Amino acid sequence: MRRGPITVTWLAGDPAEPPRVAYAIGRRAGGAVVRNRIRRRLRAITREVGAQLRPGAYLFGATAAAASLSYGDLRATVCQALDALHRP
């Protein structure tokens, strides 16, 4: 599911296991400092919204535009993507 500069891919898993999360930030997003900043922000956001995550594997991707978003805007974008992903 894509929302703005954020892409979320989900693969259903065993309900007894906690969700697993990975991040894919390509070189097109910027240098190592920029990519790591995006990754750290996404990691913090997924910790905050962990209760919304269903069991399974999540892959969060981001484009260069994610670096220019404020933390609040990035969090809102991630929440929108997760809501759309799990909408029936």
DSSP-derived 3-state class of residue 55: coil
Q: Where are the domains of the chain?
A: 2-86
User: Is 51 a residue whose pLDDT tops 90?
Assistant: no
**pLDDT for 87:** 85
Q: How many CB atoms are closer than 10 A to CB 38?
A: 25
- Secondary structure E strands in 13-78: 20-25, 56-62
CATH number of 2-86: 3.30.230.10
DSSP 29: G
Task: Give the C-alpha separation, 10 to 31, whole Å.
Answer: 27
Q: Report residue 80 as tokens.
A: 């929108």
User: Is 82 a residue whose pLDDT tops 90?
Assistant: yes
Task: Give the C-alpha separation, 49 to 82, whole Å.
Answer: 10
Global confidence as pTM: 0.90
pLDDT digits (tens, 9 = 90+) for 17-42: 999 999 999 999 999 999 999 999 99
